[in-house]
């Protein structure tokens, strides 16, 4: 009975987590919003910050194209393909 | 005897677990089906909202023959009320859009960029007194952006519906942007 309760509890807890937007989905949506072809999720995500304070995120779409998403400190966003 | 007593509950437990899992797996499908019904409701409510504009001309014809001050007062009250509701909705809608978990942070930032670009366009054309000429183009961009946002909010059907229903008041508030 204990096991059943644990299993049900874990399932209930895991369901909302599965429905939340992941960063991979979020970035893919952002790339699509800027008019580029991308699937539902990206992979190989890397994040860094340059000397000007821009946040630079690089990710690869399912079709193999790698994109760079630059967010300036003012909140402006730019998406550009890298290959 | 004791062995069978122990075996039956474990089978029962497994069955209950499988049933619970099946129910939980069906839940997203039910949730996905809801927007379709809501879209119909939105279309209906939009049709209801549009109706008064059409009926106004008809009612004007009737008023020429039979003036109805009580009905006029009622319609004025309704208009004032709807304007107030729309004004409140704008702030609430913005807050809800910021809080929603249906879209991620980067998507929200991209949307904010698009909205501020559109507002910048309105400001630019107003400054040059060209807003009247470009209003059709700006309206098309606005509709496109709104449709994008509505489509992105698939997991938040209530907010999606409210944005779609309130698009006229959103458009009006966009045009009220100060130079």
What percent of chain B shows pLDDT beyond 70?
49
Whole-number pLDDT of residue B105: 94
Tokens describing residue B39: 């879209």
Give me the mean pLDDT over the A27-36 stretch: 95
Whole-number pLDDT of residue B110: 95
Give me the mean pLDDT over the B63-68 stretch: 48
Interface of B with A (CB under 8 A): 9, 13, 16-17, 20-21, 24, 27-28, 101-107, 109-114, 148, 152, 155
| pLDDT of residue B92 exceeding 80 | yes
Rounded to the nearest angstrom, the minimum Cα separation between A62 and chain B is 18
* Spatial distance between the Cα atoms of A45 and B35, rounded to a whole number of angstroms: 32
Rounded to the nearest angstrom, the minimum Cα separation between B104 and chain A is 5
Rounded to the nearest angstrom, the minimum Cα separation between A21 and chain B is 6
Q: How confident is the model at residue B34 (pLDDT cuts 50, 70, 90)?
A: very low
* Contact at CB, B109 and A77, closer than 8 angstroms: yes
Q: Do B169 and B86 form a contact (C-beta atoms < 8 A)? A: yes
Q: Mean pLDDT lowest for which of B32-36, B86-90, B123-127, B131-135?
A: B32-36
| Residue bearing tokens 């980067």 | B106
Q: Mean pLDDT lowest for which of A29-33, B74-78, B130-134?
A: B74-78
Pairwise pLDDT comparison (A58 vs B17), residue with the higher score: A58
Q: What is the pLDDT of residues B134-156, one digit of tens each?
A: 899 999 999 999 999 999 998 99
Does the ipTM surpass 0.85?
A: no
Which residue, among B122, B125, B100, B127, has the nearest Cα to B111 in the 3D structure?
Answer: B100
> First vs last Cα of chain B: how many Å apart?
86
Alpha-helix residue ranges (DSSP H) falling in A1-83: 2-19, 23-33
Q: Mean pLDDT lowest for which of A2-11, A39-48, A60-69?
A: A2-11
The average confidence (pLDDT) of chain B is 71
B47-77: b (≥16 Cβ within 10 Å) or e: eeeeeeeeeeeeeeeeeeeeeeeeeeeeeee
Whole-number pLDDT of residue A59: 97
């Amino acid at each position: 009975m204990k096991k059943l309760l644990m299993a049900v509890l874990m399932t209930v807890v895991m369901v909302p987590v599965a429905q939340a937007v992941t960063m991979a989905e979020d970035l893919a949506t952002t790339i699509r919003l800027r008019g580029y072809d991308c699937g539902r999720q990206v992979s190989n995500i890397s994040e860094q910050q340059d000397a000007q304070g821009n946040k630079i995120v690089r990710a690869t779409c399912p079709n193999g194209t790698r994109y760079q998403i630059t967010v300036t400190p003012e909140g402006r966003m730019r998406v550009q393909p890298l290959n | 005897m004791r062995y069978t007593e122990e075996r039956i509950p474990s089978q029962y437990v497994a069955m209950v677990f499988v049933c619970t899992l099946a129910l939980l797996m069906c839940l997203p499908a039910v949730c996905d089906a809801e927007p379709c019904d809501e879209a119909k409701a939105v279309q209906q409510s939009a049709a209801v909202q549009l109706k008064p504009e059409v009926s106004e001309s008809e009612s004007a014809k009737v008023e020429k023959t039979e003036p109805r001050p009580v009905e006029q007062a009622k319609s004025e009250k309704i208009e004032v009320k709807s304007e107030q509701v729309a004004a409140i909705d704008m702030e609430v809608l913005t807050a809800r859009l910021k809080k929603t978990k249906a879209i991620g942070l980067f998507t929200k930032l991209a949307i904010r960029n698009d909205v501020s670009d559109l507002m910048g366009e309105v400001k630019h054309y107003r400054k040059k007194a060209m807003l009247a000429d470009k209003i059709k183009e700006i309206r098309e961009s606005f509709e496109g952006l709104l449709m994008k946002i509505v489509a992105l909010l698939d997991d938040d059907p209530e907010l999606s519906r409210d944005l779609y229903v309130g698009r006229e008041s959103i458009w009006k508030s966009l045009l009220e942007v100060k130079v």
